[in-house]
A = this chain, B = another copy of it.
Amino acid sequence: MLARTHSSQAVMSNAILLSPNSKVPSLQDIFSNQMMDRFEAGSTLFWEGDPAASVFEVVAGVFRIVRVLSDGRRVITGFIYAGELLGASLRDRYLYSAEAVTRVTVRRFGRNRFQEEILRQPELREQLFSRLSDELAAAQDQMVLLSRKNAEERVCNFLLLMTRRVAQACPAMPVVELPMTRLDMADYLGLTIETVSRTMTKLASRGVIAPAGRHSVVIVKPVTLASLAGESYADPYAAPIERCSGAA
């Protein structure tokens, strides 16, 4: 669950992540010679409690990070997109299951070799550390959301997060892909599918968003959406999506 965030809940900077002009070694580089594995949507990469044998780089597709209570209640603690890492927290066992939301492609790296590589290269260490910090920041934001925000704020927050994440050149009215089902969204937001559905419908009827097919939404009023998300004091430091100039 290595979601890179900007200040608090936010976007992954591809510039840093992929380091296109790589003089500096990047975390991705150590995966570049590894074999690609493909999985169908719905398949499980690893299970909560499994010995943590590998670290994965997500090359394409989206994963969900799942935890389940003994009576079946399900919690999704995050979504992992292409360019991010899975299982990099380097504990003996995975703390969660990783399930493919879409068809996915990953590169696998042995845990020990990954750890050695990290030990050897200071720049990689730096990046890994930075990602852990980002992930921790995201986790704290999520705690705030789950602790004190109502259904509408949660859904708006989620839509904003997804908008920033795909970061598609930020037009005034971005179209956001939502590859996951309503159930996934519900389990991520601590709600039920019905509540998520009702909230989305209400937002649409108010003209804040507009449905665009099963798995995407047009953000009609990004500013309204942001104010409805009930950001915390610290969040104004994060770049709002509507502020990004030029770069269409």
Q: Which residues of A come within 8 Å of B, CB atoms?
A: 1, 7-8, 48-49, 67-71, 73-75, 77, 89-91, 93, 95-96, 119, 122, 125, 129, 132-133, 135-137, 139-140, 142-144, 146-149, 187, 190, 230-234, 237
A71 touches B230 (CB 8 A): yes
B232 touches A148 (CB 8 A): no
**A237 touches which of B49, B71, B142 (Cβ 8 Å):** B49
A233 touches B132 (CB 8 A): no
Question: A89-B133, A129-B129, A132-B132 are known contacts; what are 17 more A-B pairs with Cβ within 8 Å?
Answer: A1-B140, A7-B93, A49-B237, A67-B144, A69-B148, A71-B230, A75-B143, A75-B147, A89-B137, A91-B137, A95-B137, A119-B122, A129-B132, A132-B133, A136-B139, A143-B143, A143-B146
Interface class of chain A by DSSP: mixed
Question: What's the Cα separation between A75 and B95 when bound, in Å?
Answer: 24
Question: What's the Cα separation between A70 and B73 when bound, in Å?
Answer: 31
Question: What's the Cα separation between A232 and B67 when bound, in Å?
Answer: 8
Identity of the chain B residue whose Cβ is nearest the Cβ of A94 in the assembled complex: B234
**A77 touches which of B8, B132, B135, B143 (Cβ 8 Å):** B143
Identity of the chain B residue whose Cβ is nearest the Cβ of A191 in the assembled complex: B147
Given contacts A68-B233, A125-B125, A233-B48, contact A75 B137 (CB under 8 A): no
A132 touches B136 (CB 8 A): yes
**A90 touches which of B91, B133, B190 (Cβ 8 Å):** B133
